[in-house]
Amino acid sequence: MTAIKGSERTPMPGAADAGDADPRERLEVTVLLRHANPAAWAAQSAALQSKTPPASISREQYAASFGADPGDIAAVKTFAEGHGLVVVASDAARRTVMLSGTVAQFNDAFGVRLRRFEHPGGAYRGRTGAIQLPEALAPAVEAVLGLDNRPQAKPHFRKKRGRGGAQASTPGTFTPTQLAALYGFPAGDGAGECVGVIELGGGYKPADLKTYFAGLGVSPAPDVISVSVDHGKNSPTGSADGPDGEVMLDIEVVGSVAPGAKLAVYFAPNTDAGFVDAVSTAAHDAVNNPSIISISWGGPESSWTGQAMQAFDQALQAAALMGVTVCIASGDDGSSDGVATGDHVNFPASSPHALACGGTTLQASGGTITSEAVWNDGAGGGASGGGVSTVFALPAWQEGLEATTTGGGASALAMRGVPDVSGDADPETGYVIRVDGADMVIGGTSAVAPLWAGLFARLNAIAGKPAGYVNAALYAQPGAFRDITSGDNGDFAATAGWDACTGLGSPDGTKLTLT
């Protein structure tokens, strides 16, 4: 047997081993296979990170060039059948084989011992150590996801302080349409586009959406559909403090800014397998055909296994190659990303194949922005996530940039810097939103990702084609941003040009071009 590289797991911090998992418990596992043509994939990977990335290709072209080898799929099926596992589905373009079976069968097949762990937030099925495969099969498999079902990510939204999150009449807060106007978004409604929204829990109530959009004068209301991934579904919890707040924030921001675009909301379990499968499903969805994906969930790079992070990054890379723009919140815990010691960045925002969206605090008067600084509510509050990755190499479009610390020092970026762009995220200057029958104000970088997604929907509709992988193009036009030069997110300070708090800055839609 051979260990899968990067599959090692340790218990969650504070989790206690509660004994063996029920051997009769049934679960589903995603097996990710290698590319049929690894040399071509490596060449495209390098080209994509250049200052002049290649033109996007169709989903059909991607499947033909970068899918899985049919022989590898057949080998996994034979292996599964030999251990009594059921092949639920396989997808050559996504390079996945979905397997179903019991805990006992998966323990035997993958050389693990699944256990039950209890922690202050609940319980999960997990494992320690690495996943094992027969030596003959191991070279074909890049990841096995789903054996462990611990929560992988958290939503990046923050409610305005005060009872009930404050009401819509609170001075200094904004509707998404007001922010679009302040940032100079071009006229249009995103007609003909589809925005994919990734959610790992919670849900939306159509009646709330109808009331919200009617109150903004958005008519007709956006077309919103839910897509189930790994048995996830639209399931409102009735609590704005839970994932419902994230789901409604995402939909209402995108839907207000680009009401002519269809919104496909991909619901998946909050596990590494569910998260990866949701993004992969959206990127390859030829039915809804999203040209933009918005993601407001994530976790510190240190909380991911190497295999899961690689699988996720490859899903984002596939999206980039197929001309899908992916906007991801950079996190709400400043330079620490909520980790007790050191500086950390949030993944998947730290992937170079994503547009990482940081946060500002914004003041306006008479339809004009009067001031904008790094969002940082201080001790116990939220702050724009940002810093330097410890995993991903420096992309060509960030060469020559520096990260400035609050101590005044500056060092050249040696690895991927986060974020790329920013927008209003301070809940005190946040977004008027409706969740579970109540109007409230919500902020966080969770609001910035869908705001940028709505901007790209408008730009795509105007251009008549998708902007696709936009990072290099954005870094080539720093003058199209409102440069944020004041404030900090903990250990990093804002400065002229790119910084590890707000990236290039917030958008100036009157200057931004992607042609």
pLDDT tens digits, one per residue of 157-200: 999 876 444 455 577 899 999 999 999 999 999 999 999 999 99
Largest CA distance in the chain: 70
Could you give the 3-state DSSP secondary structure of residue 360?
strand
Residue 17 known to be catalytic: no
Does residue 380 have a pLDDT over 80?
no
**pLDDT tens digits for range 406-443:** 988 999 999 999 999 999 999 999 999 999 999 999 99
Contacts of 407 (CB under 8 A, 6+ apart): none
**pLDDT tens digits for range 88-140:** 999 999 999 999 999 999 999 999 999 999 999 899 999 999 999 999 999 99
Residue 450: how many other CB atoms lie within 10 Å: 32
| pLDDT (0 to 100) of residue 172 | 87
**pLDDT tens digits for range 227-257:** 999 999 999 999 888 899 999 999 999 999 9
CB distance 144 to 110 below 8 Å: yes
| Averaged pLDDT of the chain | 95
Class of domain 2-34+69-145: alpha beta
Does residue 364 have a pLDDT over 90?
yes
Residue 169 known to be catalytic: no
Does residue 495 have a pLDDT over 80?
yes
Q: Which of 226, 422, 446, 506 is catalytic?
A: 446
CB distance 457 to 190 below 8 Å: yes
pLDDT average, residue stretch 14-33: 97
| pLDDT (0 to 100) of residue 166 | 46
Residue 246 known to be catalytic: yes
CB distance 114 to 107 below 8 Å: yes
- CATH 3.40.50.200 region(s) of the chain? 158-507
Residue reference for tokens 């998966």: 106
- CATH 3.30.70 region(s) of the chain? 2-34+69-145
Q: What does the alpha-carbon distance between residue 278 and residue 447 come to, in Å, rounded to a whole number?
A: 20
pLDDT average, residue stretch 322-344: 96
Q: What does the alpha-carbon distance between residue 8 and residue 381 come to, in Å, rounded to a whole number?
A: 33
Q: Which of 72, 142, 250, 488 is catalytic?
A: 250
Check residue 140 and report its DSSP letter.
G
CATH number for the domain running over 158-507: 3.40.50.200
pLDDT average, residue stretch 23-41: 96
Q: Which of 148, 193, 246, 333 is catalytic?
A: 246
